[in-house]
Chains A and B, each alone.
Chain A
Amino acid sequence: MSRARRHWAMLVLVLGAAACGGGAGGGGERPLTVAMMPKNKGNPYFASCRTGAEEAAKELGVRLLWDGPTETDPAKQNEVVEAWITRGVDAIAVSVENKEAISTVLRKARGRGIKVIAWDADAEPDARDYFVNQATPRGIAETLVSHAARLLGGKGDFAVITASLTAANQNEWLRQIRAVLAEKHPDLKLVDVRPSDDDRRRAFEETQTLLKVHPQVRLIMAIASPAVPGAAEAVKQSGRTDVRVTGLGLPNDARPYLKDGVLDSAVLWNTKDLGYLTMHAAHALAKGTLKPGVTSLPAGRLGTVKVDGDQVILGTPFTFTKDNVDQFDF
């Protein structure tokens, strides 16, 4: 046999073996496969979501694929989705990092009959079937104001530390906070809103200023996550034991101040429940029970969850306190 022919023989042999093995997993009863993608695999926030998703997958008998970028290349999320389309999954759930770019490939997935869910951060509306929304602005505002009312005994002055004065999310929350105050707690007064520019040190300085300018303020509400530890540190250093802090923040930032007692509570959503609900929504969507017109979704231990149009709502935000904060690590 000549040398060249021997190479060809080897090629045919290998590719033949490949073609025979190509049917891996094909045929027979196969479990539903749901592919879930975080923005970033290395972020503890998403690791926490994953534990919830795995819990739901076990309950539902779903095969969960969890993959996503570990680096900053913005094309990576697209490549992972492309691979899932080729692999053939039943549903894809993505926490969107880059809206325009990912939507192209999500539309392609829908075109191939794969059900698509956006969770945590939304894609363009026509690129997904449903968005699993972790918290509505109204829900966040109601929870924050209820903490304020509890801490101030239903009457008194408080001030807000926001992100920047132009931040869209924060301004929407502020609008809702004012609406809730007007409806339910007319005796609570929001006396000042100061910017922190998402910077812990800036929040620290602004809080110091606030305490001097408005000595009657008994509560600081920090509605940007770096502002929570910043405001808490300022109150702690001022020695004012009559002033408390609440806000919207991450458990690891909040932990030391919750333990100190300076920080009363930090509001966010329960990340485990977010992963858990997303898996339930993806399962229901693939089974055909979650479809246009449906207004509620049974979601295991979360009970029945509200569906509003094309959004599945996780429900009331979750409050981290000194008693439960140690169950979370992100």
Chain B
Amino acid sequence: MTYERGLALCLLVEIALFSAIGWNFFTAGNAGEIVRASAEVGLLALALTPVILTGGIDLSVGSLLGLCAVVLGVTWRDAGWPVPVAAAAAVLAGVAGGGLNALLVARMGIPPLIVTLGTYSLFRGLAEGITAGVRSYSDFPAPFLTLGQGAVGPLPSQLFVVGAGAVGFWLLVHRMAVGRTLRAIGFSPDGTRYAGVPVGWRLAAVYLLSGLCAGVAALLYVSRLGQAKADAGTGFELMAITAVVLGGTSIFGGHGGVGGTLLGLATLAVLQNGLRLADLPAELAGMVTATLLLAALGANRVLEGRSRA
């Protein structure tokens, strides 16, 4: 049994368990709510998958989401731009933030952990500075809010955004030659460079994509809550990284993929939602997540060892 099949089974057991002990858990409406609540972290996790495949990390995505949310609010309400233009500005701010990470990682060769730890504080600091930490933006027009609160039939609108993102990243990582070079960088950046791959450009691209996704996630977040504030997306980077790592992508790079990330994300999202519907304290989620993560990765080690033997 592969790691991903094992994780899928784990997810099914989780669903069966919460269906038995939760209220209204196994309903189409609740499935929609789960998607809605996990869409932003989902987008970030998808974007982090190629980043982590190259052996890198991006800790700044949650803060960048907050900065993009603030940019949306400022350009729309304070500068009086129409919402679509303000939304484009917010996404551009995400790309610019990703570009800064890309420049520092790919051009200057500073380790991604250090770069994004820095920009993690920088982006949140900028967002707080622009709003003095307290101003918040609300009363967005209804058409914009349908992005986060609307649905097409039983399908929440976020599903289409995250679905498109998932297909895009799956193609990138698993169906294009670029995807293979990303893994190769994860195994050995120098080896890949000697093989003639433009490693710097590849790295720059994954950090730019990560910034782009933070910008789009900011739109989803603001339209879901109906409010843009500097503390938007606090802690999302760790949730996204947890989803990626639980999904079987190696934190050292090289191994893993988009399918695993989606499974990891679903496992975490169902857990959070199920605990609430079963009237169990949500604090349990932290402990169960830790147990799952350690057990799953421990099992993966054992499986790997066996397949090698």
Contacts and interface: CB of A to CB of B under 8 A. Distances in A.
Nearest to B38: A79
Contact of A82 (B15, B16, B19, B37): B37
A330 B23 CA distance: 34
A75 interface: yes
A73 B276 contact: no
Interface string B228-262: 01011111100000000000000000000000000
A74 B234 contact: yes
A294 interface: no
Interface in B243-289: 272-273, 276-277, 279, 281-283
Interface stretch (B25-33, B81-89, B195-203): B25-33
Nearest to A107: B226
A190 interface: no
B234 A18 contact: no
B24 interface: yes
Interface residues of A, number: 35
A72 B229 CA distance: 13
B226 A104 contact: yes
Contact of B225 (A15, A71, A75): A75
Contact of B20 (A24, A67, A72, A87): A24
A80 B282 contact: yes
Contact of B276 (A18, A67, A88, A104): A67
B225 A11 contact: no
Contact of A100 (B22, B37, B226, B233): B226
Contacts, number: 112
A70 B36 CA distance: 21
B75 interface: no
Contacts of B22: 24, 87
A71 B133 CA distance: 17
A87 B275 CA distance: 11
Nearest to B32: A86
Given A80-B276, A82-B37, A86-B24, A74 B19 contact: no
Contacts of B138: 100-101
Interface string B35-72: 01100000000000000000000000000000000000
A215 interface: no
A70 B234 CA distance: 13
B207 interface: no
A17 interface: yes
Contacts of B23: 24-25, 86-88
Contact of A19 (B13, B26, B37, B221): B26
Contacts of B283: 41, 70
Contacts of A82: 33, 36-37
A261 B33 CA distance: 55
A17 B14 CA distance: 12
> Which of B23, B221, B283 has the most A CB atoms < 10 Å from its CB?
B23
> Which of B22, B139, B233 has the most A CB atoms < 10 Å from its CB?
B22
Interface residues of B, number: 44
Nearest to A16: B16
A32 to B, nearest CB: 14
Contacts of A78: 224-225
B131 interface: no
A15 B226 contact: no
A86 B16 contact: no
Contacts of B25: 22
A18 B26 contact: yes
Given A24-B21, A87-B276, A74 B33 contact: no
Contact of A17 (B16, B21, B37, B139): B16
A65 interface: yes
B300 interface: no
A14 B15 contact: yes
Nearest to A83: B276
A98 interface: yes
A153 interface: no
B227 A98 contact: yes
A72 B282 contact: no
Interface in A1-46: 7, 10-11, 14-15, 17-19, 21-22, 24-25, 41
B146 interface: no
Interface in A62-94: 65, 67, 70-75, 78-80, 82-84, 86-88
A263 B121 CA distance: 42
Interface string B154-166: 0000000000000
A100 B227 contact: yes
A83 to B, nearest CB: 4
A71 B277 CA distance: 20
B231 A15 contact: no
B110 interface: no
Nearest to A77: B225
B24 to A, nearest CB: 5
B24 A100 contact: no
A72 B231 contact: yes
B225 A101 contact: yes
Given A11-B12, A80-B276, A88-B24, A18 B19 contact: yes
Contacts of A100: 136, 138-139, 226-227
Contacts of B192: none
A57 to B, nearest CB: 13
B249 to A, nearest CB: 23
Contacts of A21: 16, 19-21, 26
A84 B279 CA distance: 9
A19 B276 contact: no
Given A15-B12, A24-B19, 11 more contacts: A21-B21, A67-B281, A74-B227, A74-B232, A84-B276, A86-B24, A87-B23, A88-B23, A98-B136, A98-B229, A101-B226
Please list the 3 inter-chain residue pairs (A to B) with the smallest Cβ-Cβ separation, ordered nearest first: A21-B20, A18-B19, A83-B276
